[in-house]
């Protein structure tokens, strides 16, 4: 994008250093546009691939939270049983 902007104001090509005439400027601008189009297409494809992956991550995180809550409940129940046994032994 910076090179594209430089082509408008510079008298020399930022790519090869030669003096810019109209045809050279146009050719360089088209080259940059083509490269940018490939990059934008790739970004769009990657964004489409990311969405299902984000959904999978969210589903896995929800399952983790559910399992963690069950584990916490089991640990609390265990602690309660240990305390009851301890109280029973003290009596």
Q: Are 28 and 11 in contact (CB under 8 A)?
A: no
CA pair distance 13, 4, nearest whole angstrom? 10
Over residues 18-39, the mean pLDDT reads: 90
pLDDT confidence tier of residue 90, bands split at 50, 70 and 90 = confident
Lowest mean pLDDT, pick from 29-33, 43-47, 54-58: 29-33
Phi and psi at 12, nearest 5°, equal -120, 150
The chain-wide mean pLDDT, for the chain, equals 91
């Amino acid at each position: 994008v910076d090179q594209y902007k430089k082509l408008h104001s510079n008298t020399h090509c930022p790519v090869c250093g030669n003096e810019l005439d109209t045809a050279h400027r146009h050719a360089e601008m088209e080259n940059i546009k083509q490269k940018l189009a490939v990059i934008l297409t790739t970004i769009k494809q990657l964004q489409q691939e990311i969405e299902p992956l984000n959904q999978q991550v969210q589903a896995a995180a929800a399952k983790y939270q559910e399992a963690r809550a069950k584990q916490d409940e089991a640990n609390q129940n265990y602690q309660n049983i240990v305390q009851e046994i301890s109280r029973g032994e003290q009596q």
